[in-house]
């Protein structure tokens, strides 16, 4: 099994040089959420007053909101007052001392993904005193970005060093009161990523949070803001194929993308959070708000996601197509097996003229997995000649899994063209027998059929990500056929 490209391996095994986070004392705040807690977080992070005010405004809005119940998922009520909203990076004392103390199942998965040993330790949260030989790769990487004028840093750093950009764009795509979980995130987010691509710059490399080791500790309420200035281009990779150790059950991230005139953002996600055990116990609740604002003319945003993890996924990466001729794309593979539940899809809101959107959604359900596609295509009154193409395919494995499709279409301009195609299929005995007769084992045959089903989405992923995604899907599906 091929491991990932050497470059990435090198990056992630580099010690992260000072930078992404400032010194914080090792402490945390007791569970519960109130204004004092928010002030505490803001103070701990050394934030300016405007940032605190923004958080408090979000908190006030949030207290007047109720948790949404419309998604096709079931889970026991979450007690948000039982969560600690600020905890310093985990003490190394609680961490496993060596890989021997790590869940062997997790290690097996790392092995199958071909993850190098040092990196396995990092992902599993092993307390290691890593000695790295050189920082040259990371330095080259930072130099290259700086040369191009690209800002890629932690959110906290951006608040300090680029307050004018943060103030101008933060919350301009996902307003604080947008929804319950987004408001919560706005009040208590701890960190995340910030990217700014200057005018007419093509970002010289694919940006990945994977490079940022400490991003793992900011997972629970992550905040990402990416701004592509006029004529710029960036490809951003989020997540990691390897399952990561994480004690936080609730994840409520917010991602905001802004594309100005002629700018293009490609945002790729591979999500593989802990899905819970085979009885459906544990697992991450992933309630994410992701939205892109195609603000400028001819701007383009493309979301590609491969979602195989989490007990519950509630996620609708969306595009608001404001600029004339702007383009929004959504390519998704979502897998739900065992007791996983996924309610995911997209919103394409056409406001500008000649705006175009494409939605390709592939849902795979195995065992008792429940997969729902929920998509909204809205063509506003002024959106002359808007086009949308939606293709929504479901693949069922076994006879206890479920696929659900909830497409919403609102058209207010009669020049619009909206197409929707949907299909539901099962892996047929005929297909399996055909491949097995040729000499392919049943597990490989299933992988082959599933990967074939997802091909249209995988081809949108950056090369190495696509290879990993395929591998991940195979591993996630292991044993799903009796």
The rounded distance, in Å, linking the Cα atoms of 234 and 230 is 12
User: Could you say whether residue 467 binds other proteins (CB under 8 A)?
Assistant: no
Closest distance to other proteins from the beta carbon of 479 (Å): 17
- Which listed range, 148-156, 259-267, 318-326, 433-441, lies at the site for other proteins (CB under 8 A)? 433-441
* C-alpha span between 355 and 198 (Å, rounded): 24
Q: Least distance in Å: CB of 129 to other proteins?
A: 41
Q: Give the shortest CB-478-to-other proteins separation in angstroms.
A: 17
Q: Which residues contact 303 (CB under 8 A, 6 or more apart)?
A: 267, 269, 290, 292, 317, 319, 329, 330, 331, 332, 346
Nearer to other proteins by C-beta: 97 or 436?
436
In terms of Cα–Cα distance, which of 209, 163, 186 is closest to 46? Answer: 163
- Helix or strand holding residue 40 (H, E): helix 35-44
Is 463 exposed, middle or buried, given 0-12, 13-18 or 19+ CB atoms closer than 10 A? exposed
Q: One symbol per residue from 439 to 458: x for binding other proteins (CB under 8 A), - otherwise; what is it?
A: xxxx-x---xx-xxxxxx--
Site for other proteins in 409-428 (CB under 8 A): 428
Q: Is residue 29 near other proteins by the rule CB under 8 A?
A: no
Total binding residues for other proteins by CB under 8 A?
23
Q: How far is the CB of 373 from other proteins (least distance, A)?
A: 18
Residues 257 and 320: their CA atoms lie apart, in Å, by: 10
- List the helix and strand counts (H, then E) for the chain: 12, 19
**17 interacts with other proteins by CB under 8 A:** no
Nearest distance, CB of residue 429 and other proteins, angstroms: 7
Minimum CB separation from other proteins for residue 241, in Å? 21
- The pattern of x and - marking residues 237 through 276 that bind other proteins according to CB under 8 A reads ----------------------------------------
By CB under 8 A, tell whether 434 contacts other proteins.
yes
**CB 433, min distance to other proteins, A:** 5
Q: Nearer to other proteins by C-beta: 349 or 364? A: 364
In eight-state DSSP terms, residue 241 is S
* Residue 399 is a binding residue for other proteins (CB under 8 A): no
Nearer to other proteins, 278 or 444 (CB): 444
Q: Please enumerate in sequence order all residues whose Cβ is within 8 A of that of 165, keeping only pairs 6 or more positions apart, or say none.
A: 151, 158, 194, 196, 227
Whole-angstrom CA distances from 179 to 41, 221, 258, 288, 420 are 22, 14, 19, 10, 27
Q: How far apart are CA 167 and CA 53, in angstroms?
A: 12
Sign of CA dihedral 71, 219, 464, 145: positive
CB-nearer residue toward other proteins: 250 or 440 = 440
Question: Any contact of residue 108 with other proteins (CB under 8 A)?
Answer: no
Asked if 200 is part of the footprint of other proteins (rule: CB under 8 A), the reply reads no
Interface stretch with other proteins, choices 156-164, 240-248, 264-272, 437-445 (CB under 8 A): 437-445
Binding-site ranges for other proteins (CB under 8 A): 428-431, 433-442, 444, 448-449, 451-456
């Amino acid at each position: 099994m091929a491991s990932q490209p050497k470059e990435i391996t090198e990056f992630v095994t580099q010690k992260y040089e000072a930078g992404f986070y400032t010194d914080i004392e090792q402490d945390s705040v007791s569970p519960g959420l109130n204004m004092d807690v928010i002030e505490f977080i803001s103070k701990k992070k050394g934030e300016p007053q405007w940032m605190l005010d923004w958080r408090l405004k979000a908190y006030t809005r949030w207290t007047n909101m109720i948790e949404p119940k419309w998604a096709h998922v079931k889970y026991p009520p979450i007690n948000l007052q039982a969560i600690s909203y600020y905890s310093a990076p985990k003490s190394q004392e609680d961490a496993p001392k060596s890989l021997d103390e790590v869940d062997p199942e997790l290690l097996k998965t790392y092995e199958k993904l071909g993850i190098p040993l040092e990196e396995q330790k990092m992902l599993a949260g092993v307390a290691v005193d890593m000695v790295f030989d050189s920082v040259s790769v990371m330095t080259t990487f930072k130099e290259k970005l700086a040369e191009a004028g690209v800002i890629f840093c932690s959110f906290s750093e951006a608040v300090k060093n680029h307050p004018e950009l943060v103030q101008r764009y933060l919350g301009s795509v996902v307003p604080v009161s947008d929804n319950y979980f987004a408001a919560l995130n706005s009040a208590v987010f701890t960190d995340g990523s910030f990217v700014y691509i200057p005018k007419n710059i093509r970002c010289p490399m694919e940006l990945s949070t994977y490079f940022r080791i400490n991003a793992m500790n900011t997972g629970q309420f992550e905040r990402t803001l990416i701004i592509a200035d006029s004529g710029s281009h960036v490809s951003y990779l989020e997540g990691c194929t390897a399952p990561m150790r994480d004690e936080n059950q609730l994840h409520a991230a917010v991602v905001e993308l802004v594309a100005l005139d002629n700018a293009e953002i490609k945002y790729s996600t591979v999500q593989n959070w802990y899905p819970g055990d085979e009885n459906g116990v544990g697992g991450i609740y992933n309630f994410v708000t992701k939205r892109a604002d195609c603000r400028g003319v001819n701007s383009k945003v493309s979301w590609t996601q491969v979602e195989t993890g989490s007990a519950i996924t509630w996620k609708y990466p969306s595009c608001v197509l404001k600029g004339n001729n702007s383009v929004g794309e959504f390519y998704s593979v979502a897998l739900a097996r065992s007791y996983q539940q996924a309610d995911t899809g997209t919103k394409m809101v056409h406001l500008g003229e000649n705006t175009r959107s494409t939605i390709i959604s592939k849902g795979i359900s195995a065992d008792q997995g429940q997969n729902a596609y929920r998509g909204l295509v809205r063509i506003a009154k002024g959106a002359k000649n808007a086009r949308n193409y939606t293709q929504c395919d479901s693949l069922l494995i076994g006879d206890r899994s479920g696929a659900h499709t909830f497409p919403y279409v609102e058209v207010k301009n009669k020049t619009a063209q909206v197409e929707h195609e949907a299909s539901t299929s099962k892996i047929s005995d005929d297909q399996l027998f055909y491949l097995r007769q040729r000499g392919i084992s049943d597990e490989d045959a299933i992988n082959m059929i599933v990967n074939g089903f997802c091909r249209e989405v995988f081809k949108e992923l950056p090369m190495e990500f696509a290879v990993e995604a395929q591998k991940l899907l195979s591993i996630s599906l292991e044993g799903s056929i009796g």
